[in-house]
Structure 1
Amino acid sequence: MNTADAQQAAGLVLTLGWLLVAAVLFAHRAGLVTSGPLIGRDVRVPGPLLWGSGAAVAFYTGQAVVVDAVEDAPNRIVAGADRPVLDWMIAHRTPDLTALMEAVSRYGGTNGTLLLAAVAVAVLLVTRRWWDALAVAVATGGVAVLVPAFKDLYGRTRPPVATQLVVEPDLSLPSGHALGAVVVIGIVAVVLGRARRSTGWRVAVGAVAAAAVLTISVSRLYLGVHWVTDVATSWTLGGAWLAVVVTGLLWVTGRGFGAGARGRTAGRPGPPVAG
C-alpha cells in the first residue's frame, strides 16, 4: 500500500467513525435510544466540536483522494486536468499579467503570510483577545510543519523547468503558497469575523479572504511552478488544519463564532500571560 492509499484508508476510517458518533448522538438526543450505557448520561457535544471535527475529517479525506488520483491514475479524471490547465496558463501569458502574478506570488508567499500573522497576533494581543491571538500563532506554526513534511512524504516533482517563469528548486506537492494562504488568511478572516456580529461584515471578510487565496493560488499555476492538483491538495490539507484550529478556538472560548469581540472576558479564561 502506497502513501496515498494509506491516507485514503485512514480518511475512510475517520469518516466512518465520525458518522457513527454523529448518528449515535443524534439518536440519543432524539430519544430514539431507550436502552444502553448512554441512557441517563449527558452526552451532549458542543456544535462547533462536532461539525468542526467533521469538516477536518472531510478535508483530510479530500486531500488523500486527490493525491491517490495523482499517484494511481495520472491520466484520468482529477489528475488528468494537470497538463491542460498548465497549457492554458502558458497560452494566456502576457508581459503585464506576468508582472502582476510575480508580484502576487512574491508578496503572497512565506514572508507575506508570516507578516500578516505577526501583525494579526500583535493587534489581538493589544486588544487582549488572547485565544484569538493564540489561534493565529498555532495555525501559522502548523503551516511551517505541514508543508515540508508533506512535500517529503509525497515527493512529487514540479512541472517541467521549461514552463516555469520563476525558479523553484524544492518539491511540488503541496504548494506552500496555497496552503499558507488558506490557513493564515483563513484564520485571520475568522478572527476578524468574530469581532463583529454583522452578517454583511462577515460576508465581506470571507469574500476578500477567498479572493486573496484564489489569486495567490492561481499565480502559482500561471508561473508554471505547480500542477493544479498541487493546489487542490493544498486547499484541502490546509482546510483540514484550519478546521482543527478554528474548532479548538470555538470550543475553548465556549461562546461560538461571535465570541471574539468579547474574548477578553467571555468563555474560559485566556492562556496565562507573563508579568
Structure 2
Amino acid sequence: METNRKKAMPLLLVGGFALLLFIIEAFSVASEKNWVAKFDLSWIERIRGSIHASMTTMIEFLTDFGSAEYIIVMTIIVVIVLFILRKFVVGLWFGGTILFCGIVMNYLLKHFVERNRPPQTNWLIEESGFSFPSGHATATTVFYGLAALFLIFTVRKMWQKIVIGALGLVIIFFIMYSRIYLGVHYPTDVLGGFLFGIASIFISTGVYFLVRKPLQQLLRKWRLNDKSIVE
C-alpha cells in the first residue's frame, strides 16, 4: 500500500497543478482578460497564416480522430478488450475517466463558461456549440494521454517510455493545431482542453493507484478474478 501512495502522490501533485492552471485560464477567458485576446491573435496568425487546399483536406479528415464520437467508440473497444482479458479494474478506470472527464465534464464546462466560437466566416468546417474548452482537445488529451501514461507505467525500458510519451503528445498537439487551423476554436480553447485533460489523467491515475487493490478485493468477493497489474 505504501508503494501505491508513493506512485500516487507525484501524479496527484502534477494533476492538481494542471487543474489550477486550467482554473486560472478559464477565469481569464470568462472575464475577457487582455492577455487572452493577445495570446489568441498571436497563435491564430502563426497557424492560419498560410492555408492550402491539400493540407486542409488532410486536416479535415484527421481532426475527426479527436471527436467525441470517435473517442467514445474507441473507448468502448478498449474497455471490451480489457474485460475479455479480465482486467476489470483497469477497464473501469480507463472507461470511467474518459466518459466522465473527457465527455461529461467538458460538456458541463462549455455550458458554464458559454464562450462563443470564432467568427463563422473563418470556419473551414461546420461546428456547433460553445467554444471553451475545446471538446476535441479535451477528449484527445484524456484518451491518448491516459493510454500513453498507462503504457509508460507498463513498459520497463526508458527509451520505450520516451517514445510512447512523445507519440502521445504528437497526436494531442496535432488535434489541438487542427482545431485552430480549421478556424473553429481559439488557441485558448485548445489550451484549456489540454490543461483540463492533463489534470484529469494525472489525478485519475493517482486515484487508480490508491484504490485498485481494494477494488480487486471487492471483485474477488463477487467471484471475479481480476488480472489487472497489482505490483
Short-chain TM bin: 0.7 to 0.9
Determine the C-alpha separation between the residues in 2 that align with 1:129 and 1:203: 25
Give the greater-gyration-radius structure (CA): 1
Structure 1 residue aligned with 2:42: 84
Give the ranges of 4+ consecutive aligned residues of structure 1 lying more than 6 Å apart after TM superposition: none
Structure 1 residue aligned with 2:128: 169
Say if 1:120 and 1:188, in contact at 8 Å, map to a contact too: no
Say if 2:141 and 2:194, in contact at 8 Å, map to a contact too: yes
Alignment of 1:39-188 (within 5 A): 46-76=5-35, 78-142=36-100, 143-188=102-147
Deviation string, structure 1 residues 88-114 (Cα, Å, up to 9, x no partner): 333211011101110111222112212
Q: Which has the higher contact order (CA 8 A, sep 6+)?
A: 2
Structure 2 residue aligned with 1:241: 200
Deviation string, structure 1 residues 13-63 (Cα, Å, up to 9, x no partner): xxxxxxxxxxxxxxxxxxxxxxxxxxxxxx999123322222222111101
Q: Does 1:269 align with 2:229?
A: no
Flag the 1:50–1:191 CA change in 2: closer, same or farther, 3 A. closer
Q: Secondary structure at the match of 2:208?
A: helix
Say if 1:69 and 1:79, in contact at 8 Å, map to a contact too: no
Say if 1:182 and 1:213, in contact at 8 Å, map to a contact too: yes
Flag the 1:191–1:120 CA change in 2: closer, same or farther, 3 A. farther
Say if 1:113 and 1:185, in contact at 8 Å, map to a contact too: no
Q: TM-score, normalised by structure 1?
A: 0.73
Q: TM-score, normalised by structure 2?
A: 0.85
Determine the C-alpha separation between the residues in 1 that align with 2:4 and 2:168: 30
Structure 1 residue aligned with 2:228: none
**CA-based RMSD:** 2.5
Flag the 1:80–1:116 CA change in 2: closer, same or farther, 3 A. same
**Unaligned regions of 5+ residues in structure 1, if any?**
1-42, 255-266
Q: CA deviation at 1:230?
A: 0.6
Aligned residues: 221
Larger helix percent:
2
Structure 1 residue aligned with 2:209: 250
Say if 1:60 and 1:236, in contact at 8 Å, map to a contact too: yes
One-letter code of the match for 1:121?
Answer: V
Determine the C-alpha separation between the residues in 2 that align with 1:196 and 1:270: 27
Say if 1:178 and 1:231, in contact at 8 Å, map to a contact too: yes
Q: CA deviation at 1:217?
A: 0.9
User: Which deviates more, 144-153 or 60-69?
Assistant: 60-69
Flag the 1:206–1:212 CA change in 2: closer, same or farther, 3 A. same
Say if 1:221 and 1:228, in contact at 8 Å, map to a contact too: yes
Determine the C-alpha separation between the residues in 1 that align with 2:46 and 2:9: 41
Say if 1:138 and 1:245, in contact at 8 Å, map to a contact too: no
